[in-house]
Structure 1
Amino acid sequence: MSERTPMIEMRSVSKHFGSVIALSDISMQVYSGEVMCLLGDNGAGKSTLIKTLSGVHQPTHGEMLLGGEPARFKSPAYALDAGIATVFQDLAMIPLMSITRNFFMGREPTVGWGPFKRIDWKLADRIAKQEMAKIGIDVRDPSQPVGTLSGGERQCVAIARAVYFGAKVLILDEPTSALGVKQASVVLRYIAKARADGLAVIFITHNVHHAYPVADAFTLLKRGGSLGTFRKENISREEVLNMMAGGAELESLDAELAEFQRSDSEKNADTEETATASKTRLAAGQ
């Protein structure tokens, strides 16, 4: 592994917003043909890390490397041109527009030249249908509104679009969070296919049960800092869950719940004892 060059790498990256430290000293390596799962609860820094990788934010400290070369993206457009494609939760799709229009989104193939240049809709429809078929989704009519597709299929349109336009690094922001079991499995299968095609995939989620089957490595975030990067063969699903939830915090919670239960039991016993004594006094008075 040490002889390979990471497709994308972060070295001691920090991001500050004034006095607020959103990311602190994050280091991560993602290799071609692998899935790196970025795990963390809400507020862990996942969104800031995504936006730093994709050119929305500039790192305050540290450096990023792409293919072993220093990289600094002035905007998401620069990151996209460099081969870093990000699929955000909102998918950046227009439901009432066709699958083809959403697939190309301003990069439609054209025919003709000069003032006679026009979009080649037949070619665009054929490409969109072929690319969706590659991931096992049979689109009967690529001119149908993308809003008619299921949530999982729309995720796959966004992923297929990124791959078709030459992405080397695919960043997926919580792609399965709002999906049912069947739809999530469609997305997870395509993540595995993107890895098989040689892409470096960064899969952001807080669902370990979705992450563990497809992951090759895990980076765990907590409150803007990194708990470390772990290879899948070196860490179990239960250990990942425990680190995400915080083992010490869970033990403290268990102790508090046990104390509440004990207090409730004592109160109930006292109440029953008082009630019994009252009944005895009443009976004696009669």
Structure 2
Amino acid sequence: MTALRLENVSKHFGAIHALNDVSMSLSAGEVVGLMGDNGAGKSTLVKIIAGNYPPSNGSIFIKERQTTFHRPIEARRHGIEIVYQDLALCDNLSAAVNVFLGRELTRGIGPLKILDYAAMNAAAARLFKDLRSETRPRDLVRQMSGGQRQAVAIARTRLSNPDIVLMDEPTAAISVRQVAEVLNLIRELRRHGIAVVLISHRMPDVFAVADRIIVLRRGNKVADKPTASTSPEEITGLITGAIERA
């Protein structure tokens, strides 16, 4: 099933054309690597899918139904979650509380409510187990590795049972061991039938998990190829312009 389809999507900021007639599709359980140099339009494309920006032109289809997003919450209601590069976590809070941030579980009678930490810890533990992560619900985020922080951010997306997760540079500035942990988290999302769009500059990471690679250059889509049908050398050429189009 096609989880997402974009048709001729463009985005203009005044005289700046950030995206020009970009079309793409994303199937359930598919991981698509989105690559390109700085300023290629990757973040703009993802923010359009996530509801941060409306497209200047073009159409968005969710499960073959044409849709328009005016706010991120509308994209979330259609099963789209995003993990930003900075993760938006609170270092002074536990993993479980971060998972439920803004959607805290409470208990009490009538108008008197208190946070239900036990329920949040138990639910977060199930999410981490589901992701095959060793992250512990009660641990403070400031004590965590980069891979564990990614696990918290990804677990938070699972609360809404998303169909699509957008990930912005999840393996940037972390160790080799932590990169392997994050790539395994992406594989677990795929195993659960969740489609993933992975923005990354790290060629080995994209080739390790992506089923397909889309390359943007100066706002234009210049390639959309199965990973098995391309190579790091070709993708590098497409990113730099040494190869015009593939």
**Partner in structure 2 of residue 39 of structure 1:** 35
SS of the residue corresponding to residue 199 of structure 2 reads strand
Q: Which of the two has greater strand per residue? A: 2
**Partner in structure 1 of residue 97 of structure 2:** 101
- CA positional deviation for 1:164: 3.0
Residue-by-residue CA offset, 1:108-158 (whole Å, 9 max, x unaligned): 222334313332211111111221233333345x23321111011101111
2:234–2:243: 8 Å Cα contact kept in structure 1?
A: no
Quick one: which of 15, 24, 44 aligns to 2:11?
Answer: 15
Hey, what's the Cα distance between the residues in 2 that align with 1:242 and 1:113?
A: 63
Residues 188 and 49 of structure 1: CA distance in aligned 2, closer, same or farther (over 3 Å): same
Residue 195 of structure 2 corresponds to residue 200 of structure 1: yes
Residues 248 and 106 of structure 1: CA distance in aligned 2, closer, same or farther (over 3 Å): closer
Residue 233 of structure 2 corresponds to residue 238 of structure 1: yes
SS of the residue corresponding to residue 2 of structure 2 reads coil
**Partner in structure 2 of residue 92 of structure 1:** 88
- CA positional deviation for 1:247: 2.4
Hey, what's the Cα distance between the residues in 2 that align with 1:53 and 1:248?
A: 28
Residues 120 and 236 of structure 1: CA distance in aligned 2, closer, same or farther (over 3 Å): same
2:223–2:238: 8 Å Cα contact kept in structure 1?
A: no
Residues 221 and 248 of structure 1: CA distance in aligned 2, closer, same or farther (over 3 Å): closer
> Which runs of no fewer than 5 residues in structure 1 stay unpaired?
250-286
- CA positional deviation for 1:194: 0.5
**Partner in structure 2 of residue 131 of structure 1:** 127
Hey, what's the Cα distance between the residues in 2 that align with 1:116 and 1:92?
A: 29
Matches within 5 A, 1:1-286: 5-140=1-136, 142-247=137-242
Query: Which amino acid counterpart does residue 199 of structure 1 have in structure 2?
Result: I
- CA positional deviation for 1:177: 1.3
Residue-by-residue CA offset, 1:242-268 (whole Å, 9 max, x unaligned): 22233269xxxxxxxxxxxxxxxxxxx
- Aligned residues between the structures: 244
Residue-by-residue CA offset, 1:13-42 (whole Å, 9 max, x unaligned): 000011111111110100001101101111
Hey, what's the Cα distance between the residues in 2 that align with 1:120 and 1:155?
A: 24
2:131–2:189: 8 Å Cα contact kept in structure 1?
A: no
Query: Which amino acid counterpart does residue 223 of structure 2 have in structure 1?
Result: G
Hey, what's the Cα distance between the residues in 2 that align with 1:107 and 1:226?
A: 37
SS of the residue corresponding to residue 20 of structure 2 reads strand
Query: Which amino acid counterpart does residue 93 of structure 1 have in structure 2?
Result: L
Residues 248 and 238 of structure 1: CA distance in aligned 2, closer, same or farther (over 3 Å): closer
Q: What's the TM-score, normalizing by structure 2? A: 0.94
1:219–1:228: 8 Å Cα contact kept in structure 2?
A: yes
1:94–1:102: 8 Å Cα contact kept in structure 2?
A: yes
- CA positional deviation for 1:181: 1.0
Query: Which amino acid counterpart does residue 155 of structure 1 have in structure 2?
Result: Q
Hey, what's the Cα distance between the residues in 1 that align with 2:157 and 2:52?
A: 17
SS of the residue corresponding to residue 94 of structure 1 reads coil
Query: Which amino acid counterpart does residue 125 of structure 2 have in structure 1?
Result: K
> Which runs of no fewer than 5 residues in structure 2 stay unpaired?
none
1:129–1:138: 8 Å Cα contact kept in structure 2?
A: no
